Amino acid sequence: MLYADFAMNASSTLFGIENSWLLGAARHPSSNCDERVAGVPISLLVIHGISLPPNEFGGGYVEDLFLNRLDCTAHPYFAKLQGVKVSAHLFVRRTGEVLQFVPFNKRAWHAGQSSFQGRAACNDFSIGIELEGADQIPYEPLQYQRLAMITQLLMQHYPDIRRETIVGHSDIAPGRKTDPGDAFDWHHFFSLLEKSAENEQ
């Protein structure tokens, strides 16, 4: 089935969650994760934006970073990433392709120093989704469609995630992080999320 086909159908069976993995996503297990704190429910969804090098898309540099195989001599910007160990649960390319690096039942290293509503260490209780993009460059329609579909699934699977606990990286690390940036259309995303929820009813 083509991406364009199921993007129009929020109830597509291509995506589902099984054993903490998103069905339909390409799996690239990263070692940059650890066990979640027992008894702490997943209640926060953090949306990020990333591009390597900055403002450039395509290629496999983001995947390389999350898998600890980035050649830090390949671009001057990468020198600052030497030894950095980060990850996200999901990465949504501009083509709409979805990759998963960390199962949802484990803690991905995506938030860094962060807090939400007075709670620190957001990695403990969150899922992180990276969108291939940049703060001032519009995201692709297919990315919004994928994100809405995935978010709806996550909200069904983890009921403590609610609309008011879906935030950007900049919301939990203000002054340190700016992504997903001004280019991310929150109104459009939440509109698609509502339509996705309606289609599930």
Largest CA distance in the chain: 51
> Considering the domain boundaries, does residue 15 fall inside one?
no
Mean pLDDT throughout 9-18? 61
Query: CA–CA separation, 30 vs 26, rounded Å?
Result: 12
Q: Which CA distances in Å does 80 have to 67, 73, 109?
A: 17, 10, 17
Taking alpha carbons only, the member of 133, 66, 53, 61 closest to residue 93 is 133
> Considering the domain boundaries, does residue 11 fall inside one?
no
Q: What is the CATH number of the domain that holds 181?
A: 3.40.80.10
pLDDT at residue 12 in the model: 43
Whether residue 108 is predicted with pLDDT greater than 60 in this model: the reply is: yes
> Considering the domain boundaries, does residue 5 fall inside one?
no
Residue numbers of the domain that contains 84: 21-200
> Considering the domain boundaries, does residue 48 fall inside one?
yes
Query: CA–CA separation, 17 vs 108, rounded Å?
Result: 17
pLDDT higher at 13 or 169 = 169
Q: Average pLDDT over the chain, rounded to whole?
A: 92
> Considering the domain boundaries, does residue 71 fall inside one?
yes
pLDDT at residue 197 in the model: 81
Contact 134, 54 (CB under 8 A): yes
Whether residue 167 is predicted with pLDDT greater than 60 in this model: the reply is: yes
Given the residues 35, 56, 130, 200, the one annotated as active site:
130
pLDDT at residue 201 in the model: 64
Whether residue 15 is predicted with pLDDT greater than 80 in this model: the reply is: no
Mean pLDDT throughout 8-18? 58
pLDDT at residue 26 in the model: 96
pLDDT at residue 77 in the model: 97
pLDDT at residue 196 in the model: 81
pLDDT at residue 198 in the model: 76
pLDDT digit string, tens, across residues 136-152: 999 999 999 999 999 99
Tally of domains in the chain: 1
pLDDT at residue 5 in the model: 33
> Considering the domain boundaries, does residue 7 fall inside one?
no
Mean pLDDT throughout 119-124? 98
Mean pLDDT throughout 99-106? 98
Q: Tell me if the pTM is above 0.85.
A: yes
> Considering the domain boundaries, does residue 102 fall inside one?
yes
> Considering the domain boundaries, does residue 13 fall inside one?
no
Is residue 130 part of the annotated active site? The answer reads yes
